[in-house]
Structure 1
Amino acid sequence: MSQTVSRAIEVLEFCSERPRELLEIAQLWDVHRTTALRLVQTLEAGGFVRKDDRGRYGVGFRLAALAESALEQFDLRTVVHPHIVDLSERVRQTVQFAVQQGSRIVYVDKIEPYNSIRLNTRIGGYVVVHTAGVSKAILANLAPTQRDRILNELTFEKFTDTTLTSRAAFEQRLETVKETGWAYDDGEYESISNCIAAPVWDHAGRVAGGISITALKAQTDLVALEDLLPDLLDTTTTISRELGWREPRSADRTA
């Protein structure tokens, strides 16, 4: 990848987090302001970034339009979306859908109903793998080589008292997820929230993604969330069947 293209990608990601001053962008690459300005002006002319009334650079409307078009073309999200809307309306909680993308787990859809918890996650954003329910639901069912590729990059940073801070503890949790068919996040990233999650399967019996239900602990603790497991599993099973998955026969499961 050329340096110019690489820098353009970096500045788009940088400015997507919040509007940035030109000096911040120059400091990102350790270059002079005029060097940063040339690239930013090119992106601005193309509509990929825009300058606000305070002179800061944020994501442009053209980039937003391209992102929307990309999501519309993402068939898996198209299939999943109406089902998680229905699930969210039934359980009245925030519902998220994530998929594996290389060595990352990425959020591709989120439904936040009125009066539900508001999460700082965003569509297209990366999952904090060792804390989230969706990542556990996915990783527990990946092939060992794929799982190791992701685990090898984790630092197991501690966020709360319940965060899993070692690979051994995390892999042990994944074994439990594999056995039970669902995962949970017991306030492992933010102590105020918890979630349950389950995998979605494709036509070949491979894990295609994970869906979670997240709630404020003060309103719905983990025990209460488990009461919503039938709704969650009904949704993931329905989506999986729509993707061509067929539940293994009893003989296959015991073989």
Structure 2
Amino acid sequence: MEPKTCVVTGASRGIGRGIAERFGEAGCSVAVNYHSSAEAARAVVSAVEDAGGAAIPVQADVTDPEQVELMYEDVKEAFGSIDVLVNNAGINQDVFFENMTHEQWGAVLDVHLDGAFNCTQTFYDDIVGAESGRLINISSIVAKGGNLGQANYATAKAGIFGFTRTLAHELAREGSTANCVAPGFIETSMVTDLPEEIIEQVREDTPLGRIGDVEEVADVVAFLASERSSFITGEVIDVNGGMDL
């Protein structure tokens, strides 16, 4: 991947952190978005810089358009226009549907869907104006198969599919692309905090027989952000060890 200017939302931990660090290895300038974990975001910035890139931490609640606009101004001042936006920010509030509150439903949809809308709309002109603009959205295997206790999360992540494919049509008019990455069970705190018996069942249900690494997702995102993906748009790329075969 050649150096680009990138924004990664929800980049203070997990998959977002892995993506930011992978961009750093390519010499990119990276805006490390975070909601409340300032110390963790600063650690990611240091890791990106150690890898050979440039980085700044940018605080914003992606559900708040005004905060996203302030983030845009910070990124513009530091790096100028961006080339790549990765909508990765997300939360989960897992509970069986019969017990799910409207607040739990809305909070998850707000972060995943309103967050993607707010950030994409704010950085849209940059993506369109870039020589090879890239919009990359992070979804989940749960969007395809559902999961117990995750009606809100599965719905939000499935919505990302339609959002990506529609933006792919619209961005194509200007030569930019939009794609989606749908990870399976990846070694992040969301997975490693599960009971061991569930993790073992996931391994058994995965043809490759293991949990995925963050780096394996980040490599796919880096490919989609690169010139090598220039004829790929509107796709949902699974990184799940064959779990939905």
TM-score > 0.5, shorter chain as reference: no
Q: Which has the higher helix share?
A: 2
Structure with higher Rg: it is: 1
TM-score range, shorter chain: under 0.3
TM-score (norm 2): 0.27
Structure scoring higher RCO (CA < 8 A, sep ≥ 6) equals: 2
TM-score (norm 1): 0.27
